């Protein structure tokens, strides 16, 4: 019989939200969604710092609890900064999340993602099309968006197998592929998460926020698998409540309501009852 994720991760679901301490997360990220990301961290009671100059890392890394590396907008400076921070996190044993934004689109981003993987980050994530490309599979993603075609049952099974093989070489990394179904694969197991609403595809930064919040949960000491499963489930339950409230509104209102729920849901609802997902 398959086990539900609320059983597998029962302790983490019971104790994580609302956060009891405020992890400081350094986000080296893209200018498109940087403000949404910083605020999303604050809404769950984490603290953002968006510092990307390598000269600052020696001082900064004594203060931060986790690092988020997002490939969403590459410049020569940001490329150096991402690579330097990835190495520094490994040296100083800070938990790190790599978000493979746009890896399905260009070789340059694919190469940066692979270089960052060599530091054995705690989590590597992307939308399903980005993660397919990263795992060496055919991908139909365009730009920074995932493709519906990569979501079929066959494609998900193929991706699960490819990621399992990757975890043999990278046993300390948990892989997350997001979309209508979210797939989590690590050396410890595989899980499928089923919360969320289609409108999440209609405003930008949803995946970026999931990356930053995952880093925050690593920063308070959750395991890689716990941090990924808790973040995706919580964010997607926030979106489900927002969609239910947004009967007359457009996508901009849905966005605001989803972000609002980040600070409300754990306080106001028995949200764990809403969680859908199971071990594979």
Which residue number, 207 or 277, has a Cβ lying nearer to Mg ion? 207
Q: Say whether the peptide bond before residue 18 is cis (omega within 30 degrees of 0).
A: yes
Q: Give dist(CA 71, CA 48) in Å, integer.
A: 18
Which one of the spans 13-21, 39-47, 50-58, 230-238 is the region binding ligand ATP (CB under 6 A)?
Answer: 230-238
Is 178 annotated to bind ligand?
Answer: yes
Q: What does 73 interact with, of Mg ion, ligand Cc1ncsc1CCO, ligand ATP, none (CB < 5 to 8 A by kind)? A: ligand Cc1ncsc1CCO
Which one of the spans 37-45, 107-115, 142-150, 260-268 is the region binding ligand ATP (CB under 6 A)?
Answer: 142-150
β-bridge pairing 189-193 and 182-186: antiparallel
What residues between 149 and 188 interact with ligand ATP by CB under 6 A? Answer: 178-180, 182
β-bridge pairing 96-99 and 174-178: unpaired
Using the rule CB under 6 A, is 104 a contact of ligand Cc1ncsc1CCO?
no
Beta bridge partners of 178: 127
Using CB atoms, what's the residue nearest to Mg ion? 207
Contact 101, 72 (CB under 8 A): yes
What residues between 200 and 259 interact with Mg ion by CB under 5 A? Answer: 207
Nearest CA-CA partner of 193 in 223, 226, 229, 217: 229
What residues between 196 and 225 interact with ligand ATP by CB under 6 A? Answer: 196-198, 200-201, 204-208, 210
Contact 211, 97 (CB under 8 A): yes
- CA atoms within a 13 Å half-sphere pointing along the CA-CB vector of 77: 8
**Number of residues this chain uses to bind ligand Cc1ncsc1CCO (CB under 6 A):** 11
Q: Give dist(CA 121, CA 108) in Å, integer.
A: 19
Nearest CA-CA partner of 211 in 196, 225, 228, 236: 228
Q: Give dist(CA 248, CA 202) in Å, integer.
A: 16
Is 205 annotated to bind ligand?
Answer: yes
Is 50 annotated to bind ligand?
Answer: yes
Is 125 annotated to bind ligand?
Answer: yes
Annotated binding site for ATP: 125, 178
Q: Would you tell me which residues interact with ligand ATP (CB under 6 A)?
A: 127, 144-146, 178-180, 182, 196-198, 200-201, 204-208, 210, 232, 235-236
Annotated binding site for substrate: 50, 205
Q: Would you tell me which residues interact with ligand Cc1ncsc1CCO (CB under 6 A)?
A: 30, 32-33, 72-73, 101, 144, 204-205, 207-208
């Amino acid at each position: 019989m398959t086990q539900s994720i609320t059983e597998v991760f029962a302790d983490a679901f019971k104790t994580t939200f609302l956060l009891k301490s405020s992890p400081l997360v350094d986000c080296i990220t893209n200018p498109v969604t940087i403000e949404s990301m910083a605020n999303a961290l604050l809404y769950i009671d984490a603290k953002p710092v968006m510092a990307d100059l390598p000269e600052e890392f020696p001082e900064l890394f004594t203060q931060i609890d986790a690092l988020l590396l997002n490939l969403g907008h590459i410049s020569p400076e940001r490329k150096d900064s991402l690579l330097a921070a990835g190495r520094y996190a490994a040296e100083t044993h800070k938990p790190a999340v790599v978000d493979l934004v746009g890896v399905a689109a260009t070789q340059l981003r694919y190469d940066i993602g692979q270089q960052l993987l060599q530091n054995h980050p705690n989590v590597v994530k992307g939308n399903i099309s980005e993660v397919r490309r990263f795992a060496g599979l055919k991908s139909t993603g365009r730009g920074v968006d995932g493709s519906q075609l990569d979501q079929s049952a066959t494609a998900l099974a193929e991706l699960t197998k490819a990621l399992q093989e990757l975890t043999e070489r990278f046993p300390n990394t948990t892989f997350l592929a997001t979309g209508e179904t979210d797939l989590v694969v690590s050396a410890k197991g595989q899980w499928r998460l089923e919360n969320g609403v289609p409108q999440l595809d209609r405003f930008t930064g949803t995946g970026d926020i999931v990356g930053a919040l995952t880093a925050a949960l690593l920063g308070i000491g959750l395991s890689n698998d716990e941090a990924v499963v808790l973040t995706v489930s919580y964010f997607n339950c926030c979106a489900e409540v927002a969609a239910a409230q947004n009967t007359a509104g457009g996508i901009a209102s849905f966005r605001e309501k989803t972000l609002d729920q980040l600070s409300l849901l754990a306080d106001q609802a028995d949200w764990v009852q809403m969680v859908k997902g199971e071990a594979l």
